Structure 1
């Protein structure tokens, strides 16, 4: 920036961080201005001095004080304060808009990445109840037979245990199938599984961490008798109050607030265990 530049860019301002206690007040405007780079302030002042009306007001103040700069300084400061603050606020407003756009762009990117991951996981299923010493693929085939589904180990692209080995624990298994149709058939029939004596097998969707987080967040706010209102289908978190209701898709934390605000408005708060409405 040249010494005669009049365009001000507050994105390069180095603001000094300060702690604010619960009873603290906003710093006086003089202290705020001190945080702004001196060159930046001079650029703003040069821009303000292009206003002929403002220059006339400055001349009048100096004349009234017999040309004394010292006597005129306070009045001049008050005169220049408003246009300086207006310029600063305009720049801050521009920066805030740019920041909001960047944040929205980031949310959009995260949503796209989550969707890509969700689609990739749509070939996967998680199995629980398979013992550590059992052949994973063969046992998945056995589980499929309990659902009257014909499956071969060659239908399974890959399968492995989840997490580190723990003494006395049977780790879950994640399996990837070559066909989504095979995967869906297993998932759709999972509630019909004929549990063999002494064994319990469970089949779950393989979800993204975002989906799991949203799912757990909603369930944590519901009474135990109503946690079944929220469920996961095809990698998406869904919620409905009644069986015959159309499910509501939950994609963000804001969706959770909207749903629970509706519940409170409908006087159905008896199903809520722990929820505080957002303020502001």
Structure 2
């Protein structure tokens, strides 16, 4: 093989390598162009995504600001709600006190026999009979007397008598111990809320008495005193008008109050006049009215 042949072979190989390199470079260029297009698409997509991200950031910022505002508003509303509840509670308490104050001249009587189609006049006569003959009180004028509550088979409805003066009502309550152990119960005429408060405080009253303390109710308020310091202890004076007006009516002996726990409205039982006494009292009242 001479030099000319070798040269020709080298030229052929060089041309083959050149062609192969050109094909490779062309393929690489095609791939690079494809990558460039993909990168361009990704760049444009990122730009759009960045815009969306910026919008979302702004929305999140606005939402956080709105949340802070709503949180402050909720806190203010909660405070207003608490204040409203306190106001409603105070107004409810005041209404109950006023209701009890309006009832300060009233005496609630359970166990007083009731006749069919009883009138208010008949109720007043029956109440006056109990006051005069059983409690040994002088004739005390009544403004009114009526029955309250729904009728129950075999059980008389409670009677509410309104005295002209509160002192007369308090005197009747003090003399109520004369009828202890019988079938009539006397007590202050309190509003339903005050009666419920008394019911809720009965366990505390029993616990205090079990410890040897003096415990009694003034309207719906439970008063507890030590026996040894009873003389030296200052009197408990309520701030409400109802407590100031009705304090005298709360002087019920502990034993009498305990008896009334199982009875409706914690009323002290008083003895009912028998039929003959009731008829005699009615005749006497009729003759007195005629005179």
TM-score band, normalised by shorter chain: 0.5 to 0.7
Q: CA deviation at 1:141?
A: 2.3
Look up the match of 1:138. Answer: 125
Give the distance between the partners of 1:203 and 1:74, measured in 2 at CA. Answer: 75
Deviation at 1:90, TM superposition (A): 1.5
The correspondence for 1:72, drawn from 37, 54, 70, is 54
Tell whether 2:164 aligns with 1:181. Answer: no
1:118 touches 1:207 (CA, 8 Å); kept in 2?
A: yes
Q: Does 1:202 align with 2:162?
A: no
1:91 is aligned to: 73
Aligned to 1:54: none
Residue by residue, what CA displacement relative to the aligned partner does 1:158-208 show, whole Å, maximum 9, x if unpaired? 11122233222122211111111111111122123377xxx5322111011
Which position in structure 2 is the counterpart of 1:109? 91
Please identify, of 206-215 and 136-145, the stretch whose mean Cα deviation from structure 2 is larger: 136-145
Q: Contact 1:129–1:170 at 8 Å: present in 2 too? A: yes
Q: Which residue pairs with 1:148 in the alignment?
A: 136
For residues 53-86 of structure 1, what are the alpha-carbon distances to aligned partners after superposition, in whole Å with 9 as ceiling and x for unaligned? xxxxxxxxxxx96894212234334444433322
Q: Which residue of 2 aligns with 1:3?
A: none
Change (3 A) 1:83 1:185: same
Answer with 1 or 2: which has the greater Rg: 2
RMSD: 3.5
Q: 1:141 and 1:98 mapped to 2: Cα distance?
A: 52
In 2, Cα distance between the equivalents of 1:192 and 1:167?
29
Alpha-carbon distance between aligned partners in 2 of 1:243 and 1:125, rounded to the nearest angstrom: 29
Contact 1:238 1:249 in 2 (8 A): no
- In structure 1, how many angstroms separate the alpha carbons of the residues matched to 2:123 and 2:70? 65
> Which of 1 and 2 has higher RCO (CA within 8 Å, sep 6+)?
2
Q: 1:210: how far off?
A: 1.1
**TM-score w.r.t. structure 2 length?**
0.52
**Which structure has the highest helix share of the two?**
2
Give the CA deviation at 1:211: 0.7
- Residue 194 of structure 2 is aligned to residue 216 of structure 1: no
Query: 66-75 or 97-106: which moved more?
Result: 66-75
Query: 5+ residue gaps in structure 2?
Result: 1-45, 240-291
Aligned residue pairs total 182
Given candidates 151, 158, 170, the residue that maps to 1:165 is: 151
2:275 corresponds in structure 1 to none
SS for the counterpart of 2:156 is coil
Unaligned runs of 5+ residues in structure 1 are 1-63, 252-280
Per-residue deviation, 1:147: 2.5
